[in-house]
Structure 1
Amino acid sequence: MKKHDQDFMKRQNRLTVFEIIKNQPPISRASIAKQTGMSATTISRIVGELTEQGYILESEQVSAGLGRKSTLLGLIDASVLSIGIELDRHKISVGVVDLQGKAVCSEVHGHFPDERFETTMMRIGKIVGDLLRKGGIDPARVVGIGVGLPGIVNNETGIVVFSVQMGWKNVRLAELLKDLTGFEVAVDNELKVKALAEHLKGSAIGSNRTALIGFGNGVGSSLIIDGEIYRGDMNSAGEIGHTTIDPNGMLCECGKAGCLQTYVNISSLLLEASKIRQVHTIEELFEAKKAGERWAVHLVDRALMYMSITVNNIVCMYNPDSVILSGELVDKFPDIYEEVKELCSTTLVWEPLRESYRFLRSELNEQGVLIGSGLLAQTRFFTLE
């Protein structure tokens, strides 16, 4: 047990030093020791290992005052790459992500909701191989794959426990994708990795308590507290889309009636619209609203009201310092952000809390899940190595 604890501490110390060098370059060994409380010997050992493995670049000695000099450290961005994948009902996004969270190259492919899980995994395996070849990327530089998808995911085992949108239950995603690609695979809920990406590289840099809410094919949320994802016991914290609004309401795909997402998500809005006339895309619905058709105005305004109520509930429950509005609906129709912000600031957020948080747009937009998944794979690699 003692040996296990020592190994765990060594991995955590290594990851801590790595993250500091990544996020605060250029930085000296002394500064790292001061921030972490680790001894100079421990810092030198970890930096030596990372340098030997080709991750760290040491700059020339620079003046540090009164003739003293120190060597500054930074990371070689291209020394480590990972594959980030977003799986959604209608699309598969795949990209190569570097140490700074930048997508070196990426592609978006269509996905059929009724496609078998094994078929989807085989397609992803081929997409990954083709992308590396087309990008001229050496697979030896890729430390792993990260996958973000909607639903409840066991992030430790890589098993998708339940995903309404994908139609999957208890599927061993990490295991199969590793067999197909040869890479280590980390899997997590899409909004959890997106919130992490926004916290590290997007609109919520510097936030201590970030709440991200996603509105698209489903509805969900995620909370980052002091840089860590809040997961709950089953990694299901944030599944606000399946909170009950009306027990006598519309049936949700999950099998319950009156879930929040049945009033807001894209498929439910199109289903409601089809009771008036045939509407094939969400763009058509918003065009009808723009044209002033009363039924379309009613549907969209009702959705905006429920979005604002969701923000209020999140703010009241978690008291975040930052709330990020994201998801396909917000990406496609940027005006939604301003309309929801107005509703929240005037009526629908509890008055004592209206000025307690920053209301933000997603800065990473449609690449947020891809980038967050890639960063997840990198973190897993440096923790386990």
Structure 2
Amino acid sequence: MKKHDQDFMKRQNRLTVFEIVKNSRPISRAAIAKQTGMSPTTVSRIVNELIEEGYLFESDQVSEGLGRKSTLLDMVNGSVLSVGVELDVAHMNVGIVDLQGQLVCGSRFDKEPDESAERTIERIGEAIGELVELNRIERSHIVGIGVGLPGIVNNGKGLVVFSVQLGWKNVALADRLKALTGYDVAVDNELKVKALAEHLKGAAIGSTHTALLGFGHGVGSALILEGEIYRGEMNSAGEIGHTTVDPNGMMCECGKTGCLQTYINISSLLSEANRIRPVKTIEELFEARRAGEQWAVQLIERALMYMAITVNNIVCMNNPDSVILSGELIEKFPEVYDEVEKLCNSRFIWEPLRGSFTFHRSGLKEQGVVIGSGLLSQNRFFALA
């Protein structure tokens, strides 16, 4: 075996042991060896390294049952922290995430209108500094930064290839943010990191084939297959919002006509609403619907129909065991989830696939992207450590 392959296996084994302790703590060395199939000697070597580096400790607890008692291993929670960042059209969320995927602290920051990519990156650095200082976070415990944002991302290079919502193209986010902060930076699509968080800590725990859909300022999806995020050739798998549903339809922000998201996303709904009367926010549009204004009723019901169509298309293409509905439209307006599920079950899911999957709300809601970004950064750190 080549040295490169040996090094890769060592890193994978180390990450596997670490994940088992993290998810099954407290646990003995023998139990880790049994779960992984690694030799007791290999497990002990890895565990001892992690103890020396301050990530694990031997607890006062011992294993139960017959036979020789074993000392149980546990995590040093504060030994590893990461920064999770969510970038959206009008705001950014920044948080500190611990080893268990818990949000230690976090803040929301409004973005300036037409804010440049460079200014946004500078503000991320400023926000991290404020958060660390305000909450007295030990900087040496932070292992990296993860950023989730809408659009196509080259996650290997940390390059934002194209984001319609942010208006970014070929932005070297990871390199620029690392130059400002000194931390390693992992960048990915927001729904992919949210799917990762839901898989590890939210609604997708125990699922092997999960589809997460996001309905908000854009429309997209992410797939988890056997515990791994499915990325495709360009990390753009799941960009269902830019599939064409009507070649003669409305103009999309991406420059094409008839994209699916033009019938669902917030900016398109507000644009359509303003053809009737001035409507500044999505909340105003839903208030008009609740007041029984027929134009608002029809506009939102059309969006709900296309959401149900989206779910059906994802289910037909990917045959998941779980479908998670998320995004601003789902989280701000709980009735949307109920109505989409009802439409799916009554009309839009292809009959042979009805009952083959379960619906879920996002378990982590608005915190999902920040937590997922933080966990992405931790995974990158431990894979390379």
The reply on whether 1:178 has 2:178 as its aligned counterpart is: yes
**Residue matched to 2:138:** 138
Partner Cα distance (1:236, 1:285) in 2 = 31
The aligned amino acid for 2:353 is L
Opposite residue 277 of structure 2, the aligned amino acid is R
Match of 1:361 in 2: 361
CA deviations over 1:213-248 (Å, ceiling 9, x no partner): 000000000001111100000000000000001000
- Displacement after TM superposition at 1:62 (Å): 2.2
Alignment match, 1:58: 58
1:255 aligned partner: 255
* 8 A Cα contact 1:61 1:69, kept in partner: no
Give the structure 2 partner of residue 321 of structure 1: 321
Secondary structure at the aligned position of 2:9 is classed as helix
**2: distance between equivalents of 1:221 and 1:141?**
33
**Displacement of 1:72:** 1.2
Give the letter aligned to residue 106 of structure 1. G
TM-score between the two structures when normalised by the length of structure 1: 0.99
The aligned counterpart of 2:17 is 17
Matched residues in 2 for 1:139 and 1:351: separation?
54
Structure 1 consecutive aligned stretches of length 4 or more whose deviation exceeds 6 Å: none
Q: Conserved in 2, the CA contact under 8 Å of 1:89 and 1:113? A: no
Q: Deviations over 1:2-26 (max 9, x none)?
A: 1111111111111111111111111
CA contact (8 A) 2:160 2:173 kept: yes
Say how many residue pairs are matched: 385
Contact 2:63 2:72 in 1 (8 A): no
- Deviation by residue 1:67-112 (Cα, 9 ceiling, x = unmatched): 4201111212211000000001111100000001111000000113
> Does structure 2 retain, via aligned residues, the 8 Å contact 1:89–1:112?
no
Work out the CA distance in 2 between the residues paired with 1:67 and 1:242: 60
CA distance in 2, matches of 1:256, 1:77: 48
Q: State yes or no: 1:107 paired with 2:107.
A: yes
The answer to whether the Cα contact below 8 Å between 1:59 and 1:71 also exists between their aligned partners in 2 is yes
Assess if the C-alpha contact under 8 Å between 2:28 and 2:63 holds in 1: no
Q: Distance in 1 between matches of 2:126 and 2:56?
A: 32
Q: In structure 1, how many angstroms separate the alpha carbons of the residues matched to 2:211 and 2:14?
A: 28
Decide whether the 8 Å contact of 2:63 with 2:71 is kept in 1. Answer: no
Counterparts of 1:247 and 1:241, CA distance in 2: 14
Superposed counterparts of 1:200-349, under 5 Å: 200-349=200-349
Secondary structure in 1 aligned to 2:60? coil
Correspondence list, 1:154-165, <5 A: 154-165=154-165
The Cα offsets for residues 288-326 of structure 1, whole Å up to 9 and x where unpaired, read as 000111100000000000000000001111110100000
Q: Percent of pairs identical after alignment?
A: 71
Cα 1:77–1:61 change in 2 (3 A) is: closer
One-letter code of the match for 1:158? Answer: G
1:82–1:142 CA contact under 8 A, matched in 2: yes
Residues in 2 aligned to 1:295 and 1:58: alpha-carbon distance in whole angstroms: 64
Describe the superposition over 1:126-164 as per-residue Cα deviations: whole angstroms up to 9, x where unpaired. 110111000100110000000000000011110001110
Question: Which amino acid in structure 2 is aligned with residue 179 of structure 1?
Answer: A
Deviation at 1:180, TM superposition (A): 0.4
The DSSP-based 3-state class of the residue aligned with 1:121 is helix
**Cα deviation 1:146-198 (Å, max 9, x = unaligned):** 00000000111100011101111111000000000010000000000000100
Q: Per-residue CA shift, 1:1-52, capped at 9, x if unaligned?
A: 8111111111111111111111111111111111111111111111011111
> CA–CA distance in 2 between the matches of 1:18 and 1:380?
13
In structure 2, the partner of 1:48 is: 48
RMSD, aligned α-carbons: 1.0
Q: 2:358 and 2:241 mapped to 1: Cα distance?
A: 22
Q: Measure the CA separation in 2 of the matches of 1:370 and 1:63.
A: 36
Mapped partners of 1:3, 1:170: distance in 2: 35
Contact 1:158/1:188 (8 A) holds in 2: yes
For structure 2, the residue ranges without an aligned partner over 5 or more in a row are none
- Give the superposition deviation at 1:113: 5.0
Distance between the aligned counterparts of 1:195 and 1:113, measured in 2? 29
Shift of the 3–297 alpha-carbon distance from structure 1 to 2, 3 Å rule, reads: same
> 2:64 matched to 1:73?
no
State the AA in 1 paired with 2:284.
Answer: E
Which amino acid is the alignment partner of residue 56 of structure 2?
I
Partner Cα distance (2:99, 2:340) in 1: 34
